[in-house]
Amino acid sequence: MKCQHCQDEATVHLTDTVDGERRELHLCLDCAREAGVDLPESPPNLGLDAVIQSLIVNNVGELVGELAKLACPDCGLKFMEFRAIGRLGCPHDYQVFAKGLDPLILRTHGATRHVGKVARRRPELSERLRLRTQLKNAIAREDYELAAQLRDQLRSKDADA
């Protein structure tokens, strides 16, 4: 629509009713100012984007960033993979991903501490699980000398048990 004064594109559209009669006015921004129309100011830049960004970073962003990179040294699972499949890779993941898992566990169970039956043996971290992973990796790299050493270590652990 064209401005009723100057033929520029009208961007201000006014409607009012005078003595029961409806009146419409279509003006461009300049003509509207000239006509003394009280135009709303454009919203001041409060830097809201930056605020939101910092909120995300403070509360989840950095955690997500840090967790996204986090991988278990023993089973190789990345936290992001866990989020996608919903299954952990090995018992050590509960320690490695504690920062991401603890809030999730609290939401699911309404608790963060085990109550009830206690296991007889309590191996917080399994040396054998760790050796087994190193062995798998050594074989994948075709480092057979290291693989042989690791296999011996595992065997001696099995013999101790």
Partner 1 sequence: MNLDDLTRNSGEWLRGTGPESDIVMCSRIRLARNLADFPFSNRASRGEKSEIEANVKSCLDSTNLNLAYFDVNGMSSLDRQFLVERQLISRELANGEGARGVSIGSEENISIMVNEEDHLRIQVMHSGLSLHEVWDRINRLDDQLEETLAYAYSAQLGYLTACPTNVGTGIRVGVMLHLPALVKTKQIDKVFRALQKINLAVRGLYGEGTQAFGDFYQISNQQTLGKSELELIRILTDVVPQVIQYERTARQVLMNERKQHLHDQVSRAYGLLKTSHMISSEETMLLLSSVRMGINLGLIDDLEIATVNELFIQTQPAYLQKLHGAELGVEERNVARASYLRSRLSNGRHVEPE
List contacts with partner 1 (CB under 8 A): 74-77, 85-91, 94-95, 101, 104-105, 108-124, 126, 128-129, 132-133, 136
Write down the least CB distance from residue 56 to partner 1, Å. Answer: 24
Name the residue nearer to partner 1 (CB basis): 33 or 99. Answer: 99
**Nearest approach, Cβ of residue 115 and partner 1 (Å):** 5
What residue has token string 């955690």? 63
Q: Least distance from C-beta 39 to partner 1, angstroms?
A: 54
Nearer to partner 1, 22 or 120 (CB): 120
CB of 94 to partner 1, least distance (A): 6
Query: What is the 3-class SS of the chain, one letter each residue?
Result: CECCCCCCECCEEEEEEECCEEEEEEECHHHHHHCCCCCCCCCCCCCHHHHHHHHHHHHHHHHHHHHHHCECCCCCCEHHHHHHHCCCCCCCHHHHCHHHHHHHHHHHHCCCCCCCCCCCCCCCCCHHHHHHHHHHHHHHCCCHHHHHHHHHHHHHHHHHC
Q: Which is nearer to partner 1, 22 or 117 (CB)?
A: 117
When the beta carbons of 57 and 106 are compared against partner 1, the nearer one is 106
